[in-house]
């Protein structure tokens, strides 16, 4: 084999940026879920709804917003 083949340079990963991303990930997943869940529960109690539709809607909105944030952030690291 030829040892003089050009190797493609591996991209350098900023380790502190990854630590920052890991820290943000915990907050970005937990905070919307808790916040929208509590708002939905409060709305269900305020309306007198026994079926918990607002709580379910709040959880779905939290999952959607977290997914959009993750997609946006991970696109930055893929580039």
**What is the residue-wise DSSP string for 46-63?**
HHT-TT-HHHHHHHHHHH
pLDDT of 8 higher than 70 = no
The two tokens of residue 25 are 């990930």
Work out the angle at residue 9's Cα, subtended by the Cα atoms of residues 6 and 13, and round it to the nearest 5 degrees. Answer: 170
C-alpha 50/C-alpha 65 separation (Å) is: 26
C-alpha 13/C-alpha 45 separation (Å) is: 48
What are the extents of the domains in the chain? 29-78
Contacts of 37 (CB under 8 A, 6+ apart): 55, 58, 59, 62
pLDDT digits (tens, 9 = 90+) for 40-74: 999 999 999 888 999 999 999 999 999 999 898 88
pTM over 0.85: no
């Amino acid at each position: 084999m030829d040892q003089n083949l050009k190797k493609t340079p591996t991209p350098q990963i900023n380790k502190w940026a990854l630590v920052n991303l890991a820290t943000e990930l915990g907050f970005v997943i937990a905070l919307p879920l808790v916040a929208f869940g509590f708002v939905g529960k409060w709305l269900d109690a305020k309306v007198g709804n026994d079926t918990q539709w607002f709580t379910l809607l709040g959880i779905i909105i939290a999952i959607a917003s977290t997914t959009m944030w993750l997609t946006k952030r991970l696109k930055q690291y893929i580039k």
